[in-house]
Structure formats: C-alpha cells, structure tokens
Chains A and B, each alone.
Chain A
Amino acid sequence: MIEAVIATSDLCHDYAHGQQSYRVLNNINLSVARGETIVLLGASGSGKSTLLNLMAGMEPIQRGDIQLFGQSLARMDDRHRTLLRRESIGFVHQAFNLIPTLSVADNVSLPLALAGIPRLQSDHRRQELLEAVGLAGRGSDWPDRLSGGEQQRVAIARALAAKPPLILADEPTGNLDADNGQRVMHLLARLVAENSSSLVVVTHSLDVASIADRSFALSAAGLRAVDTTAAGAAGAW
C-alpha cells in the first residue's frame, strides 16, 4: 500500500450532552494519498467539522487513531500535535478567521513567523502568495476592509504559506455567494495542485464535487464512498 498522507483507523468520537453522550463519528476509516483531493459531504451536524478538527490534531482523539505522515496522533500530546500541524497542515475555515488586528500581509505571514522562518524568506513567500490569490496590492489593508471572497482568498494564502503537504478546508465557500464560492474553490484546487499537496474539503456545493478525486458522505452510519459525478452525488445526500 502506498504511504498515505493521513489515515484514520476506526476513529470514533463522542460528545457529552448533559449526562448522556452520543456518538458523532463511528468507526471512520479514511485514507488520503499524496496529491489527492477528497470531498467530504454530509448533512449539517453529521460530524464533518469534528472529523477535520481531529485530523488537524486540534482535538484529542478518544478512540481509534489517525496516522499523520506515519505518526500516531492518538499517542501524541498537544504540543507535538501542534508542532506536526504547524509543519504539515494548512486549515481553511468557513468563517475565514483572519486576525482582525493584523494586516492582510501579516495574516499571511503568521504561520511562517510561528514556524520561525527568517523574515526575508517569509516576505518573499508572502508576496508570492498574495499575487497567487490576486491580492498583491492589498497587503497593508485590514482584513475587515475586504469582501468575503477576498478574505477567504487571504485565508487560503495563509493556509498555504508554510507549504503544508495537507490542506484541510471546512466549508470554505459556505459564507460566500455562488460566484465567489466557485472562484475561491477553483483557486484552492489550483494552488493545492501546484503545491502537489493533498486536500480534504468539506462542502455542500455540488459542482465543486467535480474537482474531487474521490468523494465521501458522512452520516451516522459512517463514511460511504459516493460517485464524483453530479448525479451520483445528488443521490448521496
């Protein structure tokens, strides 16, 4: 078997609701190959965000395991998960989540700075990315002066800044109108491809499913592979 970028094995996750706990993720087995783009579908509340957060090492694993570049996240403490995330994962959120008091340029540089990349090098990389997302002239602006689509492009630039081999995107177009959503999704796909990174993207938008190498639907029953064709996907949810 070719080495996977990330692979979950029998991953389960429960949330406590008052006294009771209920299962959100039930025996999830998903493996993402290098350079592969995976689309995750599923009804709201089906656990897509939970799965992505677990994959990014942002929440401790309860049962099962996730192998990120061959390393077990379940057996890692928060610090090591963070360091691994810093090196290998870029995250794009539905709500953009730019830091409002950092300029656009500084937002993009943030992961580079956190990783201790020298200033000169990081300035160069930042400029490259801003150009790639078409915001070269907006570096000194405040994030809240940008439109939603522009903000999400900054967020994509930020996620890609440290050239992580894996990008996780949680409904990146969920807060955008259809046109903007389409543009942002294609930009993301293109940049990920140029970087030869892998991408796991959660989305409801049907036609973006076409960029996927493989698609899955998440539900209480578990993970189920679906057709990447529009028609097939439609039946999946």
Chain B
Amino acid sequence: MIHLMVTGAAPLLARSSIRFYRRHPAQLMLSVLGIILGVGIVTAVLITNSSATAAFSLSTEALYGRSSHHLVAADGIEDASYAELRLAWPEVPMAPIIEGYVAYDNSVLTLIGVDPFAEAVFARFGNAGVDDEGLPVTTELLSDPRGVLIATAVADRQELEIGTTLKVQTPTGMIEVLHAGRLDASNPAAVDGVLLTDISRAQTWLGRSGRLDRIEVVLEDRDVDRFVASLPPTLKLEAAENRRATMQAMTRGFQINLTAMSLLALVVGGFLIHNTMSFAVLQRRELFASLRISGVTARQIMYTVLAEAAVVSLVAAALGVLLGRIISEGLIALTTRTINDLYFVLHVQDVQMSLATILLGITLGVSTSLIAALASALDAAATSPLAARQRSSTEERTRRLIAPLAAVGLVLIFAGGVLALLPSLSLLVGFAALMLLILGYGLTLPWLIHRLARAAVSLWGHIGVLAGLALGGIERDISRTSVAIAALAVAVSATLGVDVMTGSFRSSVDEWLGTTLASDVYVSAPSVRASDGALLEPALMEVAAATPGVHKVSSGRALDLSTSAGRLDTLILEPHDTSAESFEFVSGDPDSAWQQWRDEGAVLISEPLATKHGLDVGSRMSLFTASVGDQEFSVAGVFRDYGSSHGKLMLSRAVFDTYWDDERINTLGILLDNAPQNEQAAVIETLRQRLAQAAGRALEIRSGRSIHEQSLAIFDRTFEVTGVLRWLTVGVAFIGIFSALLALHLERAKEFAVLRASGATRAQTATLVVLQSSFMGLLAGLLALPLGYIMSLLLIHVINVRSFGWRMHADVAPQALLAALALALLAALLAGLWPAIRLSRGGIAQQLRDD
C-alpha cells in the first residue's frame, strides 16, 4: 500500500477500480452479500456461544458467589452433619444449599433453598426480598410457609405481583407458593429463572427432607488440609472451580461443533469471495494490460486488487457482524433450548456482543477475503502486458496451471488424511484435517472439471449444436467455469457431509434407543425435567411384580456421583433376566462384562467416559461412597450410550447397597407377559391404579416406544441449530453460483449477440444458458459427492468422537446423495435462469455496438 501511495498512482488506480465496480453493480452486490452472510453466520455463532457462556458464568457467579469450596456427600448431606460442622468450625463461613427444578407455566425454574442467616455472610443475593420499589418486603410475607422470592426477570415475564399465589409443579406434586418478594441481583440476568426460599420448605417441596445438596464454604488455603482431616468419610470437599469447569465442559463439545459449522460457512464464503475476485480480475485483464503498457508495475496491479478486496470485505464484514447480531437472537433461542434439553437449565438474557467478537468477525471476513483474493491478485500481476490482451492466453495459462494446482491439492489431501488418522484426541487437529481436505479437494477440482467437461464434450457434444456449445463452453472458459463449479461443489459437499453425519447419528441413536429401552413400560415419579431424579418408594417394585400380566421388573436409581473422573451421572440398576440385552458393549466381552458387573462388584462405563478419560476394560476408578468414602472399582465393560456426552457410570444395585444405605429408586422398568396389545393395555391400566394407590399419588407410566420417540424428538431439536446453519451455508453457496453464472454469462453478452446475428433464436440462446448452467450444477453435484462423503466420515469418526466421545457407524442414505445432486442442480439452474432471461431479452444491435 505504501508503495502505491508513494508513486501517486493510487488515486488513479482506485478511480479505475471504483468505475469498474460501478459498471458491475450486481457483481459487487453479490460478492458483498456473500461476505455478509459468511461473516454473519460466524458472528452469530460467536455471539451465541459467548452469550451462553456469559449467562452461565453470571449465574454460577451469583449462585456460588464467594464460596471457595463445596462440601458434598454421595447422596446429599444430612442436616445433622451441617449442624455438627457449624459447631466444630464456627469461624468458617458456611451456607447449606438445596437445589432442584420446578415448573411454572411451561417454563422450568430452579428452586434454591438457603439458610437466610448463613446467607448473610455470603451476601450473594444482593437484593433478596424487595418489593417493586426496591424496598424490603415485610417479614410477614417471608415467614409465610409458602413464601418464595422470585427472580425479577421471571416475575416481570410472568407478570406476577407480590402477595399473590401461584401453582408450581414440583417433584412431589403441585403446590401453591406465595410470591413474597423480588429476588434482585446487581445484574437481573444472573438470577434469571431462580425461585429462592428457605431450606426446609425447599426440602419438603423437592421431596428430600433432612438432606442438603451441598454446603458451600469459604476456606483460606492454609485451613483446607485441617478442614479435610476433620471431615467424616461420608463428606467430600471439592473446589468450587471444579464444579463450574465440569458444567462448562459439558456444553463445550456442543459449542465447538457450532463454531465448526460456522467456519465451514466461512470457508464456503471464502470460495465465493475467491470466485468474485477472480472474475473481477479476469474481466479487467485487458484494462490491466493497458495499464501495464502505460507503465503501471505488476506490483501496483497486485496491490490494487488486494486493496479492492480489503475495502469491499471490510464494508461487507462490518455489515456481516450486524447481520450476525440479528441471526444470533434466533440462534440463542435454539441453543438454549438444546442446552436445557441435554445439560442444565440456562436462561440467556443478555446478548453478548463484545468488541472482541466484532473484531474477530471482521478480521475473519477480511482475512478470508484477502487470502481468497491473493491468487487473483498474483494472477493479475503475473501476466505479461501483451499476453493479457488475448483471451485465449488466459485460458491456456489456466489450463497449464490446473495440473500443478491439482498436484498441490493432492498433497494437501494426503496431509489432511495423515492428520485425520493420527491417534490424537485433539479437536483442533481434527478440524485442521477437515480444512486441509476441503482445500486440497478444492484445488484438484479445476483439473477434474476440465477432464469431465472434455469427456462430456466427446460423449454428448455432437448431440446438437447447443449441447456442444454449452458443454464446450465449460471446457473452453475453464478459467471462469471451474471457479464457479468448485465453489458450488464445496458448498454442496459441506451440506452433504453434515447431512450424512446427522443421519448416521440419528440412526445410531435410534438403534441404540431400540436396544437400551428393552422394557415395555417405564414407571417414574412425575418430574419437572426428565433427569431431575424424583424418587419412588422401593416397595413399588413388589407391587408391580405382583400385578398379573407383569413378567419381570427392574429398577433404576440415578445419582450424581463424585468419582476420580469428576462428577458423573450414575445409574444404579437392579436388572432383570433380560436387562443384559439392552447393553451393547463396545469394549469387553459382553457375557463376562455383564457377569463381573452383576456378581463381582465391577462397574460399567459409557463410551464417551472411556474415550475422554482414557479408560477401558480393566481400568480402575474410585467412587466416593456413602459409607467408606473413596473406594476403588474396576471397569468390566464399556457400553454404547448416546444419552450423555459427559459420560455415564453404571453400578449394580448389589454393590450400591453395600456402600450406601439408601433403598430409594427413580424408575421401574417393567417387562410384560407376551399378550395381545389390548390385554397389555389392560395390564398397564391395572398397574397405573395399583402403583398410584401404593404411592399415594399418580405416577408416570410410559411405554418404551413413547420414550424412544421423545428422545428422537429431542435429538432432532438438538440438530435444528445445525440445520439452520446448513441452510445458511447453502444460501451462501447459492449466492456464489448465482453471481458466478451472472458474471460468466453477462460477460458473454456480446458472444450471444453474435450467435443471434448468426441465426440463433432467443429460445436457443436461453436454452444454451440453461443447459450450460445445469451441466455446471450437475458437475458440481457429482464432484461434491466424494468430498461430502469423506467429510461425513471425518465428522463421524474424528470430530464427533473428539468433541462428544460418541462413536457411530456411517450410514449413507442414497436419498442424501440424491438430495445433494438435486441441490447443486437446482441451485445452478435457478442461478442460470436470470442470465438466460436477461440475455435473450437484450437487443442484438445494441450488444454488438457496445464495444
């Protein structure tokens, strides 16, 4: 740039550039639109991720506040232990907490029970218990046995007035609570979704009388060891930071995947920018040649092209960031729903658009554009002043270039392949491999396109003059056509790859649900969230077993255990005869794994857990038990599980009973006698009545089938975000092919006029454009298939394993391939229609005159 300014040619060259783009406004608009969309998608995902993360840290900050450590127990801490601790350590600030989920008016809220006196020290709920004016509410309200403080955000959303009552669904049933005051924090978003009440009320409502979830403590570093030494074996001290990290780690894979999808959109956008810039350069070859003849240096030409790309992309990227802000609203809604479905309840109130996000979005957009424009800039600079004037020399140069380019592409593909096969767990390496493959394939595309077009000419070129012209045009104009086809092929392959990955994932999950939901009927206590562990009385097992028509009954208990691999969702299973069939072992001999687990006190772990912590059959891990504290167990088998990407542990009931004194369960799995459907329905009805009577409340009885369907529905919701991103990527690709075809055909307006002067009818020229566009689409579609397939393999076997720990089989539905072909064809066809119409409308004499 400096060079340009010094010579004083910059203003002249800049004026020339501006004039060029003013004469080709459509082209400029389309490339700007491509960058806007690409940057918009990336920024939207960045904003979404940072908003979710910020909301998460804000709420953990507000809720965990000053505490340095948490005291936890294997299954809740008894009230008495808390009292003893207080007496033993009067100088250590402590706050007991119980937490659970309740629902009001279709939204899930977090009910937190605290000890108001202990809280005073923590001072975390800044303005707890204020009225609408921010003044403290009367103690009368607070002391009402139904009183809760409701987060301001919730109260405002639901239009709840202080002093009114509302019906809330809790694990123990519907209860009536009194809105006793607002719960305010310095940032209302921090406590969004929270109902705060006193410990004993929360214990009753959540059905966990006498138990605390955790005790938060503020410990000086030097006191930690002494404190730990004084604890009974049933209590464990965890750093507060760990808990936060664990929760954040859960959503990390999900967020990374979103980011990857958005980068894919940007790569497609990059191809698009390359596409536009190379057209902009190609169209000005003669102009550049004239400039060169008049003394402009090759370097100045190169800087001019780069400067153009920089200016155009800067403006477009800035607009893209704005678009991203708009898209992010919808994306945040979709993402929060998924996080709530899969991980934990999160309320995102503030959209986080930091300066860093803005700069990152703009930088990504501008640098992608500059990289994409670099080839064109070098190209513009490299041609000799005389040769550049000849169109055929451009094509010949391109033809000479495509073979070496393809060779470089092959090397990149090979490097990508090697990277992908490296035994690494790094996601970054996985993405690098993916990018190398895409780039490498993109570079081999012009060569492939040239070959295929040439083959097509010799196969079908003689069918008719139009077919010959259309097919031949692709080969002859290879410098133009190959870029457009390559951009479309890459975009379509990206959607194909994601499609196949999602499809494979879904069919694996479907299959897994089929095996894992082996019982006919599942019984659980009504709960607000599927995973919140409302409890059932163990006696219900006998009631169920004694019901005529019931074949076998198994029981399950879900716990959140502290282990050497962090906090883990644990299932305590009392199996029935056929329970073993519901597990698919990915490591370990199924029979011996099952037998060791059932009879010898070993544990079974899920695949993501094994992958993430490098565990396998024979590994040992320690669990924090209720009776003796840490205890080692050996791993007998690794089972397939798509239920949790965080990992899951399974203990047999017998082992659990040895180390825990807790008979309660969460679910019953019931196998019915073989009988016609209507008889089974009658059995289920009897079960419903008997169990309700025994439990003293209505229980949820659901068929395996309906749980299966609901799980798939959640799966589909999870991938809705992916679907949205995919369509946005297709949008970018469409703009790409549209602008490419528009430029390609409009550049040839004069040729079409010559054709018309030589006797071609309007219908013929229009057919020519449409034929050529469709053939380009077909080529792009065909060429997208191998890359899409390889991408899906990489997504399935490398990216997914590394971000979630889930392995699955690749399942390529023929429909997915056909859909990709159709997509490419349709995009090209649609993109070709407008130029076809415009060209056949144009006056011949007018076109021939414009010289």
Contacts and interface: CB of A to CB of B under 8 A. Distances in A.
Interface of A: 49-50, 53, 56, 58-59, 78-79, 82-83, 85-87, 91, 93, 95, 97-102, 106, 110-111, 113-116, 119, 142-145, 158, 162
A114 B759 contact: yes
Given A56-B757, A59-B844, A142-B392, A114 B465 contact: yes
Contacts of A82: 756, 759-762
Given A59-B845, A113-B465, A144-B392, A99 B759 contact: no
A144 B391 contact: yes
Given A53-B845, A82-B756, A100 B761 contact: no
A53 B844 contact: yes
Contacts of A56: 757
Q: Which of A83, A142, A162 has the most CB of B within 10 A?
A: A142
B477 A85 contact: no
B473 A58 contact: no
Given A59-B843, A97-B848, A86 B762 contact: no
B115 interface: no
Contact of B392 (A85, A114, A145): A145
A218 B844 CA distance: 22
Contacts of B761: 78-79, 82-83
Contacts of A91: 757-758
A97 B843 contact: no
A82 B758 CA distance: 9
Interface string B832-851: 00000000000111001101
B462 interface: yes
19 contacts: A50-B845, A53-B844, A82-B756, A82-B762, A83-B761, A86-B759, A86-B760, A93-B754, A97-B750, A97-B757, A98-B754, A100-B751, A101-B751, A106-B472, A110-B465, A111-B759, A114-B755, A115-B759, A158-B758
Per DSSP, chain A at the interface is helix
Contact of B757 (A58, A100, A101, A115): A58
A58 B758 contact: no
B482 to A, nearest CB: 14
A60 to B, nearest CB: 9
A22 B473 CA distance: 41
Interface string B454-466: 0000000010010
B475 to A, nearest CB: 9
Nearest to B468: A113
Contacts of B392: 100-101, 142-145
Contacts of B468: 113
Interface of B: 389-393, 395, 462, 465, 468-469, 472-473, 476-477, 750-751, 753-764, 843-845, 848-849, 851
Contact of A114 (B462, B473, B750, B758): B758
Interface centre among B389, B462, B472 (most CB of A within 10 A): B472
B391 A101 contact: yes
B462 A119 contact: yes
B411 to A, nearest CB: 31
B793 to A, nearest CB: 39
A114 B760 contact: yes
A142 B851 CA distance: 20
Given A79-B762, A82-B762, A93-B848, A58 B751 contact: no
A93 B760 CA distance: 16
Given A144-B391, A144-B392, A101 B758 contact: no
Given A58-B844, A87-B759, 16 more contacts: A58-B757, A82-B762, A91-B758, A95-B851, A97-B750, A98-B754, A100-B751, A101-B473, A101-B751, A102-B472, A106-B472, A110-B465, A111-B758, A114-B755, A144-B389, A144-B391
Nearest to B462: A119
A85, A99, A111, A145, most chain B CB atoms within 10 A:
A99
Nearest to A143: B392
B376 to A, nearest CB: 20
B757 A102 contact: no
Nearest to B393: A144
Given A53-B844, A113-B465, A142-B392, A99 B751 contact: yes
Contacts of B755: 99, 110, 114
Most-contacted residue by chain A among B750, B751, B757 (CB, 10 A): B757
Contacts of A113: 465, 468-469
B391 to A, nearest CB: 4
A169 to B, nearest CB: 12
B603 to A, nearest CB: 70
A35 B618 CA distance: 102
Contact of B756 (A58, A93, A102, A145): A58
A158 B758 CA distance: 8
Contacts of B462: 119
Contacts of A100: 391-392, 751
Contacts of B472: 102, 106
Nearest to B758: A111
Contacts of A110: 465, 755, 758
A162 B391 CA distance: 27
Nearest to B477: A101
A144 B469 CA distance: 19
Given A86-B759, A158-B758, A145 B390 contact: yes
Contacts of A116: 465
Contacts of A98: 754
B850 to A, nearest CB: 10
Nearest to A58: B844
B845 A49 contact: yes
A23 to B, nearest CB: 17
Contacts of B762: 78-79, 82
B647 to A, nearest CB: 60
A177 B843 CA distance: 30
A98 B462 CA distance: 21
B759 A97 contact: no
Contacts of A59: 843-845
B476 A101 contact: yes
A111 B462 CA distance: 15
> What 10 A-B pairs are tightest by C-beta distance, nearest first?
A86-B759, A142-B392, A113-B465, A101-B476, A53-B845, A100-B391, A58-B844, A144-B390, A82-B761, A97-B754
A162 B763 CA distance: 20
A196 to B, nearest CB: 21
B754 A85 contact: no
A100 B755 CA distance: 12
B845 A102 contact: no
Contact of A85 (B473, B753, B759, B848): B759
Contacts of B763: 79
Contacts of A158: 758
Contacts of B764: 114
B769 to A, nearest CB: 15
A116 B759 CA distance: 11
A22 to B, nearest CB: 17
Contacts of B844: 53, 58-59
A113 B762 CA distance: 16
Q: Which of B395, B469, B851 has the most CB of A within 10 A?
A: B469
B759 A58 contact: no
Max chain A C-beta neighbours (<10 A), residue from B462, B758, B760, B851 = B758
Most buried by A among B465, B476, B477, B759: B759
Nearest to B465: A113
A53, A79, A97, A101 interface centre (most CB from chain B within 10 Å): A101
Contacts of A111: 758-759
A198 to B, nearest CB: 18
Contacts of B390: 142, 144-145
Nearest to A90: B758
Contacts of B759: 82-83, 85-87, 111, 114-115, 162
B395 to A, nearest CB: 7
A143 B476 CA distance: 13
A86 B395 CA distance: 30
A110 to B, nearest CB: 5
B286 to A, nearest CB: 11
